[in-house]
Amino acid sequence: MAEIKRKKGVKVGIGIRLLASGYDVLILFGLLFIAFSLITAVENQLGPMQQWLKGSLEIVIAYAYFVGFWVKGGATTGMRPWKLRVVVADSGDPLTWFAASVRFIALMITWLSLGMTLWYLITRDTGHFLFFVAAVVPAVSMATMAISRERSPLHDLIAGTAIYRVE
């Protein structure tokens, strides 16, 4: 039986992760723009669509983009310019659908919390409990990168994944 030779990788820090995330957010917004342009055209002909259905479509598109790329190629389009790969932390194997789904859910909770925190700061609505809850999640995620042995954010620790730059 032939031995599988894996490329060597180096763990990446917050800066390169933010750059890759920026690319991915732009691409995701583009995909959502196209989808909602089509929905608007359909709504003009057939009437308005339920809001919960539109929200569900957003989640499905984001899930398909991230989880699909993580499982099939090990990297999203935003990760490719920096030669980043997401793998199972312990073994270096490609992600399963389950691990990618857990990573996606944890990542979306962090991103939504960060978005809520920024919204509360911009609107100066920081005097209630939801602001505290929203601010804690991304702060804990960043803190885990600083203090954990693996130097991984919270969503990678929860999912048992890691991101490496492939040399």
Q: Is residue 150's pLDDT more than 90?
A: no
4 in a structural domain: no
160 in a structural domain: yes
**Strand, coil or helix: 4:** coil
| Residues 59-84: tens digit of each pLDDT | 999 999 999 999 999 999 999 999 99
3 in a structural domain: no
25 in a structural domain: yes
Q: What's the pLDDT at 4?
A: 55
129 in a structural domain: yes
Q: Is residue 105's pLDDT more than 90?
A: yes
Q: Is residue 5's pLDDT more than 60?
A: no
Q: Is residue 160's pLDDT more than 80?
A: yes
Higher local confidence (pLDDT), 2 or 60? 60
147 in a structural domain: yes
Question: What is the residue-wise DSSP string for 73-111?
Answer: TSS-TTTGGGTEEEEETTT-PPPPHHHHHHHHHHHHHHH
pLDDT band at 2 (very low <50, low <70, confident <90, very high): low
Q: What is the distance, to the nearest Å, from the Cα of residue 18 to the centroid of all Cα atoms in its chain?
A: 11
Q: How many domains does the chain have?
A: 1
- Output the CA torsion sign for 96, 26, 141, 162: positive
Mean pLDDT of 136-157: 87
The DSSP call for residue 129 is H
Q: What's the pLDDT at 129?
A: 85
Contact 12, 84 (CB under 8 A): yes
Q: What is the model's pTM? A: 0.86
* Domain coverage including residue 119: 9-166
- Average pLDDT of every residue of the chain: 89
1 in a structural domain: no
Q: Is residue 22's pLDDT more than 70?
A: yes
